[in-house]
Amino acid sequence: MCGIIGYIGKRQAMPIVMNGLKRMEYRGYDSAGVCFVENEALQIRKQAGKLSELEKDLFGVNFDATVGMGHTRWATHGVPNQTNAHPHFDEDNNFAVIHNGIIENYASLKIELEKKGHVFKTETDTETVIHLVEEFYKTGMDFETAVREAIYCIKGAYGFVFMCRHEPEKIIVARCGSPLVLGYGNEEFLV
């Protein structure tokens, strides 16, 4: 069972995200990854294996970001390795997603997206959703509307958290079937 955590507020996001992932370790996982905004870019770090591997990868990282998300993966589509670990992102690293669940119609969506020129990097069902978001965003929609349109295309059970380089002060969450809990703090939100 995967674990998802997202943070948006005034505190440093990454210690909260990593602590949250540790507290969900008992659920079992095969790989882990995080996303945060630094230097106006989405920074993604992911590793196969234990959270300690991801922690090594984060050594020396500037933890000023106050928005971030993290994921522990339980593979359903694609082998457990670093490439297939979440977050997944589009060709230009403008959007990132973490996902719990299964996108049942991913194969047909992937064929359509490849016809439109999207290049897939992973074997996961999850990657289709981020190319869909990119596709809708390109038509002039804002981040939230593009995510909503992408979600309308998907069949299956899911919990998602999305981030966008162009709107770095936001995270967008969606769920259907999978549980996803919102937490409200003092000028901060957790998922």
Q: What is the helix (H) or strand (E) element at residue 17, kind and residue range?
A: helix 13-23
Four-residue CA torsion sign, 95, 149, 83, 66: positive
- Tokens (6 digits) for 17: 């995200």
**Of residues 2 and 65, the one with the C-beta less far from ligand GLU:** 2
Note the Cα 169 to chain centre separation in Å.
Answer: 15
How many Cα neighbours within 13 Å face the side chain of 158? 23
First CA to last CA distance, the chain: 16
Which residue from 45, 46, 73, 118 is in contact with ligand GLU, where contact means CB under 6 A?
A: 73
Which residue from 66, 126, 130, 146 is in contact with ligand GLU, where contact means CB under 6 A?
A: 126
- 75 contacts ligand GLU (rule: CB under 6 A): yes
Least distance to ligand GLU, CB of residue 125, Å:
5
**Of residues 29 and 136, the one with the C-beta less far from ligand GLU:** 29
Least distance to ligand GLU, CB of residue 95, Å:
17
Least distance to ligand GLU, CB of residue 74, Å:
4
- 83 contacts ligand GLU (rule: CB under 6 A): no
Q: Residue 114 and residue 52: Cα distance in Å, rounded?
A: 35
Q: What is the helix (H) or strand (E) element at residue 132, kind and residue range?
A: helix 127-138
Binding mask 92-111 for ligand GLU (x = CB under 6 A): -------xxxx---------
Helices 127-138 and 143-152, axial angle in degrees (round to 10): 130
| Window 40-59: residues binding ligand GLU (CB under 6 A) | none
Residue number of the CB closest to ligand GLU reads 2
**Residues in touch with ligand GLU (CB under 6 A):** 2, 73-78, 99-102, 124-126
